[in-house]
Amino acid sequence: MYRRKTNNLQNIDVVFPLNVLCVVSGVSGSGKTTLVKQILFAALKKIKGEYAEKIGLHKGLNGDIDYITQIEMIDQNPIGKSSRSNPVTYIKAYDEIRDLYSKQPLSKIRGFLPKHFSFNVEGGRC
């Protein structure tokens, strides 16, 4: 039996909805980067006739691909000298996320404030 595999991804089907914010999450080493960067991003670039580095092993992409007019990869590489300076910190998206986390019922019970969800402070929960 032939099984398709790229890094830790094996025989999975994934649906990425269009026109919404879609998040891929999982534990370290679960294949998030492989799925998004090496398969989805690279395959879409190739379909659109753009240069793509080596594409991860996959059966194919289907769906409303014609609705996708532009593809950009924004990664978490540091922008400046600090390893904590990345695109998300510059647009202050983490501020909104930390605020949302602090408003959750369990956070209120435990007295967690937005600062408790920062990876820039000791004991941060991110």
Note whether 11 and 22 are within 8 A (CB): no
- The residue with greater pLDDT, 94 or 126, is 94
Residue pointed to by tokens 């092993």: 57
Q: Give residue-wise pLDDT tens across range 39-82.
A: 999 999 999 999 888 888 888 888 888 999 888 887 767 776 76
* Model pTM score: 0.63
